[in-house]
């Protein structure tokens, strides 16, 4: 396990996440992909903290923050998604949800 491997893993996860965000049609799928992006970033933090920093705990605190905040964010996002689902004719399909058009 080296720094380079860890960074490679984190960037692979990040790219998978981006790909997922851009290609999924289901809102839930997009949410999952966002989680993957965040995890890629978390691995980046931990890798640098482990291999480079004098005090690894400082780097470990950040992912905990990120996880806490993303959990809250997910709860909010899921609530919105459920609300949207309850609306008539809403299939949670990103292609159909176009009310933001100009």
Partner 1 sequence: MAEIFLAHSYLVLLLPLTSFVVIGLWLGRSNPSAAAWLAVALAAVNLAVALTVALASFGHVFEPLATGGASALVALNVEWLNFTPSLTARLGIYLDPISVVMMVVVTTIALLVTFYSMGYMKGDEGYGRFFALLSLFVFSMLGLILSSNIFQMFVFWELVGVSSYSLIGFWYQKPSAVAASKKAFIVTRFADAFFLLGIIMASYYAGSFDFTVLNDPATAKVLAQQTLPWGPGLPVLTVATLLIFVGGWGKSAMFPLHVWLPDAMEGPTPVSSIIHSATMVVAGVFLTARMFPLFAAADLTMEVVRVVGAFTALFAAVIAITQFDIKRILAFSTLSQLGYMMFSLGAAKISGGDGGINSLAYSASIFHIFTHAFFKCLLFLGAGVVIHAVHNNDLAHMGGLRKQLPKTYWSMLIACLAISGVYPFAGFWSKDAILLGAWQSGHYLTFGVGLLVGGLTALYMFRFFFLIFHGESRQETHAPLHEDPVMTLPIMILAVPSALAGIMAEHFFVTHVIPPLSSVPSAGILPHADWLPVAASFAGLAGLLLAWFLYGRGSRALVAVSQERMGFLYTLVSNKFYIDEAYLFITRRLIFDGVAAPIKWFDRRVVDGAMDAVGWLLQRGGNGVRLAQNGLLTLYLGMSILGIVLLFLFGNLPF
Residue numbers of the site for partner 1 (CB under 8 A)?
18, 21-23, 30, 94-95, 97-102
Nearer to partner 1, 21 or 67 (CB): 21
Q: How far is the CB of 56 from partner 1 (least distance, A)?
A: 28
d(CA 28, CA 78): 8
Q: How far is the CB of 61 from partner 1 (least distance, A)?
A: 26
Residues forming a β-bridge with 67 = none
> How many other β-carbons are positioned within 10 Å of the β-carbon of residue 56?
13
Nearer to partner 1, 20 or 63 (CB): 20
Nearer to partner 1, 87 or 102 (CB): 102
Q: How far is the CB of 40 from partner 1 (least distance, A)?
A: 14
Contact predicate 10/44, CB 8 Å? yes
User: Residue 73: which region, alpha, beta or left (left: phi > 0; alpha: psi -120 to 50)?
Assistant: alpha
């Amino acid at each position: 396990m080296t720094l380079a491997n860890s960074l490679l893993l984190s960037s692979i996860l990040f790219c998978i996440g981006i790909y997922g965000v851009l290609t999924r049609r289901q809102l839930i799928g997009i949410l999952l992909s966002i989680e993957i992006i965040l995890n890629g970033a978390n691995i980046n933090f931990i890798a640098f903290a482990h291999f480079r920093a004098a005090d690894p705990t400082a780097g470990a605190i950040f992912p905990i923050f990120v996880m806490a905040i993303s959990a809250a964010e997910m709860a909010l996002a899921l609530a919105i998604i459920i609300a949207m689902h309850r609306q008539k004719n809403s299939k949670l399909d990103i292609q159909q949800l176009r009310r933001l058009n100009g």
